[in-house]
């Protein structure tokens, strides 16, 4: 949709005639209310009691007044505020005070935010708001206040009808799913809308078929997106069960498919790997989603379609990104970190990627997507996959190839290679990752091979001569690192005091500052081990190892 048409539609939505077409429907009761099963946070409820609103990693205050006019130029913050997902914190707090404040905020929204704004009435936001209001409908309606109930019910009908007309404008992915789920729950709740329930479930099935890959991964390749989508599908499944209607087979099969993938992307601390804009997420949230899913089985080790490998031995878990960035809309948030890996020992992370630039300023978002923000190799400070001007990776990013090997003793290694540098530098990056059966010896090789078989590639290889080749290992902030023996090795100490030694050959070892963006609420300082050598236009081979002391 072009900007002129979007502005024209938004202007039309604000007219009295348009509002009249939606206000004609008045309802006196709801046919069904879904449940929000996710636990709230009483500490977050206390913040809300004090008028402190913390969303998208940013906080604003509105003591003793509605928050709807705060941060008008911050669309992400406004989307979370107006999505009302935070109602679960009031429900978790319980009591008359929490109930009264929750209803007061809902009623003030109805009174003050009725004008259809492009941000706070965007299809994904409306869908989330309907999901939240209906999911906490029992909580909001529990004292039988007829005046509040009338305003609440009529607002739900109004918003649902508007969403029916605008859901097609939602951005592909999470926003589109939010809009469709709002339509599904609204149709379940409003009397006489059984046909609409089936219609919007079919549309949800079609969208999920595009978002979920054959191995259960999510199209953006971000573990956080996988967790969010699985959580939403679990709630949808439970709502259908509670309603007493037949369970769609696709929904059952999709949840069953996604659970092993999510398990496969967990570290020893229970949180998720930091790939493609994902956050750690809370261990409790991940655990609760897996419990509610009710799907037994082991973690997926080889996620071929979504491009991840899980290597485990002893107390070590090595998670490697073995896929290229996605093309199309999903590529606009993905990272150029293919071939990167993360390593945890027991409940402690050792090697990480920098994390996510989501909900942060543009310079943070851009930096977090760069190859240098990942524990892998890059050439000449260039991204392994160039990020185009539209933020994506083009229609056909270079593939990353992976082969997994396991011997009879239980040792595991991966052979990876990609041609992301070939067009610019005539170089192929080959990486080997090895984990021995004890989990106490992790080794790797990074090799750059020059391809002189074609004139263009050979010329590019000459252009790459003299450029720095850098391999980075970003360390978790809780890891203490100190150089040994004049820089020939690095001693690493985990949070539990366990010691590891890092060694390398073929490159100079240095320590540099880094940042950790693994949590959405803060940025932490950290360190990184940096291996640097100079490419002479021919082959470059760097070997390295982490070994327990």
Query: Model confidence over 212-256: pLDDT tens digits?
Result: 999 999 999 999 999 999 999 999 999 999 999 999 999 999 999
Rg (C-alpha) for the chain, rounded Å, is: 26
Domains and CATH numbers, the chain: 28-210 (no CATH), 302-548 (2.70.98.70)
pLDDT at 456: 47
pLDDT at 462: 46
Q: What percent of the chain has pLDDT over 70?
A: 97
Between CA 283 and CA 270 the distance in angstroms is 5
For range 70-95, the mean pLDDT? 95
Report residue 486's pLDDT band, with 50, 70 and 90 as the boundaries. confident
Please state the pTM of the whole predicted model: 0.95
Ranking 228-242, 360-374, 425-439 by mean pLDDT, the lowest is 360-374
Condensed to tens digits (0 to 9), the pLDDT of residues 176-222 reads 999 999 999 999 999 999 999 999 999 999 999 999 999 999 999 99
For range 8-25, the mean pLDDT? 82
Inter-residue contact 387 to 277 (CB < 8 Å) = no
What pairs with residue 543 in β-bridges? 445, 505
pLDDT at 460: 52
Between CA 520 and CA 55 the distance in angstroms is 9
What lies within 8 Å, CB to CB, of 473 at 6+ separation is 351, 375, 502, 528, 529, 530, 531, 544
What lies within 8 Å, CB to CB, of 309 at 6+ separation is 301, 302, 303, 319, 320, 322, 402, 404, 414
Ranking 276-280, 453-457, 495-499 by mean pLDDT, the lowest is 453-457
Place of tokens 């720095």: 468
pLDDT above 80 (res 453): no
- Here the contacts of 75-78 (C-beta below 8 Å, separation 24 or greater) are 75/119, 76/359, 78/119, 78/120
Which tokens sit at 225?
A: 């997106």
pLDDT at 543: 97
Between CA 301 and CA 260 the distance in angstroms is 9
pLDDT at 538: 61
pLDDT at 537: 62
For range 22-32, the mean pLDDT? 88
pLDDT at 395: 87
pLDDT at 466: 57
Residue 117: CB atoms within 10 Å: 17
Mean pLDDT score of the chain: 93
Residue 310: CB atoms within 10 Å: 20
First-to-last alpha carbon distance for the chain, in angstroms, is 59
**Structural element, H or E, at residue 375:** none
How far is C-alpha 419 from the chain's CA centre?
Answer: 26
Inter-residue contact 436 to 524 (CB < 8 Å) = no
pLDDT above 80 (res 485): no
Condensed to tens digits (0 to 9), the pLDDT of residues 503-531 reads 999 999 999 999 999 998 889 999 999 99
What count of residues does the chain have? 549
């Amino acid at each position: 949709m072009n900007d002129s048409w979007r502005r024209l539609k938004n202007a039309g939505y604000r007219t009295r005639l348009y509002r009249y077409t939606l206000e004609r429907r008045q309802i006196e009761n709801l046919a069904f209310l879904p449940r929000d099963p996710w636990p709230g946070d009483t500490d977050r409820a206390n913040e809300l009691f004090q008028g402190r609103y913390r969303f998208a990693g940013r906080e604003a205050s509105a003591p003793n007044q509605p928050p709807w006019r705060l941060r008008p130029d911050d669309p992400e913050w406004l989307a979370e505020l107006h999505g009302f997902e935070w109602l679960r914190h009031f429900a978790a707090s319980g009591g008359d005070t929490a109930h009264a404040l929750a209803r007061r905020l809902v009623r003030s929204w109805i009174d003050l935010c009725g004008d259809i704004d492009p941000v706070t009435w965007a299809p994904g936001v409306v869908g989330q708001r309907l999901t939240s209001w209906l999911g906490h409908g029992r909580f909001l309606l529990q004292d039988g206040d007829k005046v509040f109930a009338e305003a609440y019910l009529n607002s739900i009908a109004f918003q649902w009808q508007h969403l029916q007309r605008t859901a097609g404008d939602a951005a592909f992915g999470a926003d589109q799913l939010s809009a469709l789920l709002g339509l599904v729950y609204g149709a379940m709740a409003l009397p006489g809308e059984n046909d609409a329930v089936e219609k919007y479930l079919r549309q949800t099935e079609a969208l999920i078929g595009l978002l979920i890959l054959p191995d259960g991964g999510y199209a953006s390749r971000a573990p956080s997106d996988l967790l969010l989508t699985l959580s939403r599908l679990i709630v949808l499944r439970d709502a259908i069960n509670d309603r007493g209607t037949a369970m769609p087979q696709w929904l059952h099969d999709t949840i069953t498919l996604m659970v092993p993938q999510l398990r496969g992307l967990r570290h020893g601390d229970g949180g998720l790997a930091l790939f493609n804009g994902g956050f750690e997420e809370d261990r409790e949230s991940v655990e609760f989603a897996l419990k509610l899913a009710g799907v037994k089985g082991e973690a997926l080790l080889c996620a071929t379609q979504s491009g991840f490998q899980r290597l485990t031995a002893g107390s070590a878990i090595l998670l490697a990104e073995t896929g290229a960035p996605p093309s199309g809309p999903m590529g606009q948030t993905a990272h150029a970190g293919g071939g990167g890996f993360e390593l945890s020992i027991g409940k402690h992370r050792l090697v990480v990627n920098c994390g996510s630039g989501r909900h942060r300023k543009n310079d943070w978002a851009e930096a977090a997507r760069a190859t240098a923000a990942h524990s892998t190799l890059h050439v000449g400070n260039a991204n392994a996959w160039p990020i185009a001007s539209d933020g994506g990776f083009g229609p056909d990013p270079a593939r990353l190839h992976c082969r997994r090997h396991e011997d009879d003793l239980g040792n595991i290694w991966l052979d990876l290679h990609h041609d992301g540098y070939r067009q610019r530098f005539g170089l192929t990056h080959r990486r080997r990752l090895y984990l021995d059966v004890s989990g106490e010896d992790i080794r790797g090789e990074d090799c750059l091979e020059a391809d002189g078989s074609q004139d263009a590639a050979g010329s590019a290889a000459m252009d790459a001569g003299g450029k720095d080749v850098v391999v980075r290992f970003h360390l978790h902030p809780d890891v203490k690192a100190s150089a040994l023996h004049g820089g020939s090795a690095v001693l690493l100490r985990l949070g539990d005091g366990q010691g590891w030694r890092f060694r390398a050959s073929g490159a100079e070892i240095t320590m540099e500052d880094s940042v950790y963006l693994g949590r959405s609420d803060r940025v932490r300082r950290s360190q990184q081990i940096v291996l640097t050598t100079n490419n002479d236009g021919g082959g470059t081979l760097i070997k390295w190892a982490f070994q327990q002391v």
